[in-house]
């Protein structure tokens, strides 16, 4: 059994191949003429829909660009409104919080840095030979 075409281009190509094959043998396949006409109509409709879909892609991309430009302009207007509120109300006003602007506040005294003591390490354990585990014991070789 032949493998079914999956991409749009493969499907259309297969349909057009069928139409071309039927066109080469019209005298032998006259009973299938209504099906051939239906397939021809379907190919035409499918190509029109694909063209429409492609144009929608362009429209969608342009709409995305328009939205991004609008957001950029809107963000600039919001920044200007926030700056205006700061200028009118003052930079210390707590009302600025309503405009999503942090008011200038007095700083408190600096907190001393928390000092963390390193964890105590236990004294090294002596091994049977008298050396600590960090220092390998070196046996002298007599020559």
Give me the torsion for CA of 48, 52, 55, 57, rounded to 10°.
-130
Q: What is the pLDDT of residues 8-29, one digit of tens each?
A: 899 999 989 988 888 888 887 7
Q: What is the pLDDT of residues 54-109, one digit of tens each?
A: 888 888 888 889 988 988 888 899 889 888 888 888 988 888 888 888 898 888 88
Give me the torsion for CA of 111, 116, 117, 122, rounded to 10°.
160
Q: What is the pLDDT of residues 43-60, one digit of tens each?
A: 999 999 988 888 888 888
Give me the torsion for CA of 56, 57, 59, 65, rounded to 10°.
160
Q: Where are the domains of the chain?
A: 8-99
3-state per-residue secondary structure call for 106-120: CCCCCCCCCCCCCCC
Q: Do 75 and 65 meet the contact criterion of CB atoms below 8 Å apart?
A: no
pTM above 0.85, yes or no: no
* pLDDT value at residue 1: 41
């Amino acid at each position: 059994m032949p493998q079914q075409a999956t991409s749009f281009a493969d499907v259309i190509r297969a349909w057009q191949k069928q139409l071309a094959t039927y066109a080469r043998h019209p005298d032998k396949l006259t009973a299938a003429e209504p099906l051939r006409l239906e397939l021809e109509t379907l190919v035409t409709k499918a190509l029109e829909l694909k063209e429409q879909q492609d144009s929608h892609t362009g429209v969608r991309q342009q709409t995305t660009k328009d939205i991004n430009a609008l957001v950029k302009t809107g963000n600039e207007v919001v920044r200007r409104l926030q700056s205006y509120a700061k200028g009118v109300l003052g930079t210390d006003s707590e009302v600025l919080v309503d405009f999503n602007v942090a008011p200038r506040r007095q700083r408190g005294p600096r907190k001393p840095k928390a000092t963390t003591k390193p964890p105590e390490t236990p004294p090294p354990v002596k091994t049977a030979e008298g050396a600590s585990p960090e220092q390998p014991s070196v046996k002298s070789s007599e020559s």
